[in-house]
Amino acid sequence: MVKDIGIDLGTANVLINVKGRGIVLNEPSVVAIDTKSGRVLSVGSEAYQMVGRTPSNIRAIRPLKDGVIADFDMTEQMLSYFIKKLNVKGFMSRPNILICCPTNTTDIERKAIRQAAEKSGGGSKVYLEEEPKVAAIGAGLDVFQPHGNMVIDIGGGTSDIAVLSLGDIVVSRSLRAAGDKLNSDIANYVRNKHNLIIGERTAEKVKMEIGSVLKGHRDETFSVRGRNVVDGLPKTITMTSDETEEAMHDTMQAMISAAKDLLSTTPPELASDIIDRGIVITGGGALLDGIDMLFSEHLKVPVMISETPLDDVALGTGKLLDHIEKSN
């Protein structure tokens, strides 16, 4: 029995959905290598623990940057590792693989993603789908009907905004500014305002623990530890939710302008559907405090958060694989 697999190849995480079994793998997109021998030491969660904590001969790298493959060999090795980990070779001869990519991916980048999937999946048939479409399906939107659905998918490397109708994307925008950019915004803010250098994992923790995109909406504090810029010694500061809003403000405004820009180019019939049906936010960014209110306030349209924002792309691959099978 051949089990088809859907892969959400994210900048921050890789999720794999095996047909009939659901999401069976969710691990960080990180590979740790020995720089002297070039040998892969660990992949996924184990490698993520090493980020910012490795000796000089070990590097923890993210093979994907801004939603595209930055290091082809590492991406291929990472995918092979995850597919082997599923221990699916026994019951899979040559599965179909459905893999997702951002909307602004170039033909060369698409070819790289396809090749990485083909090599790691053992010569299987590889389908490529655009991420916002798959996310919308995973979020439960019926994109195959003749009415407009709008989705904002904020991942790790890219934010994809799209209006869909009749099973396809009508208009879309993709920004290389998403979760990772918000982490670096927080790290830069802490450095500039508090003279403290922090790593990307600490910045992400701040975002997740007390982050908010609305001033005055969340009132929490977090002890941030890092290295003092002035004397190089360890130092601890207390950061507030309002400070995270200040840090992330410009990137959030860029996302709002892209969404406004998209709405201004949406055909009027579909735009009126969006006023009725609202916009769905999915991806890890959907978990940010106040994000639905922020978009609703600026776009003057109802905005909802998907029920399973982190899993929507992987869930959507499962539903799409059924659709592909029926149409073939």
Task: Tell me the binding residues for ATP.
Answer: 11-13, 156-158, 204-207, 284-287
Per residue in 246-274, pLDDT (tens digit) is: 999 999 999 999 999 999 999 999 999 99
Contacts of 27 (CB under 8 A, 6+ apart): 13, 14, 43, 44, 45, 48, 82
**Whole-angstrom distance, CA of residue 211 vs CA of residue 182:** 10
Per residue in 201-243, pLDDT (tens digit) is: 999 999 999 999 999 999 999 999 999 999 999 999 999 999 9
pLDDT at position 116, please? 84
Per-residue pLDDT at 121 exceeds 80: no
Task: Tell me the binding residues.
Answer: 11-13, 156-158, 204-207, 284-287
Mean pLDDT for the stretch of residues 154-180? 94
5-133+312-327, CATH topology level: Nucleotidyltransferase; domain 5 (3.30.420)
CATH number of the 142-176+256-305 domain: 3.30.420.40
pLDDT at position 322, please? 81
Per residue in 293-319, pLDDT (tens digit) is: 999 999 999 999 999 999 999 999 989
pLDDT at position 226, please? 96
CATH number of the 179-247 domain: 3.90.640.10
State the residue for tokens 């600490």. 202
Q: Which pairs with CB-CB distance under 8 Å and at least 24 residues apart come from 175-179?
A: 175/254, 175/255, 175/258, 176/66, 176/67, 177/251, 177/254, 177/255, 178/11, 178/154, 178/283, 178/285, 179/11, 179/12, 179/154, 179/155, 179/204, 179/207, 179/283, 179/284, 179/285
Which residue intervals of the chain bear CATH 3.90.640.10?
179-247
Per residue in 124-139, pLDDT (tens digit) is: 788 999 999 999 999 9
Q: Which pair of tokens denotes residue 243?
A: 């400070």
Stated pTM of the model: 0.91
- 10, 135, 250, 251, 295 from 254: Cα distances, Å: 21, 21, 6, 5, 12
Per-residue pLDDT at 123 exceeds 60: no
Which residue intervals of the chain bear CATH 3.30.420.40?
5-133+312-327, 142-176+256-305
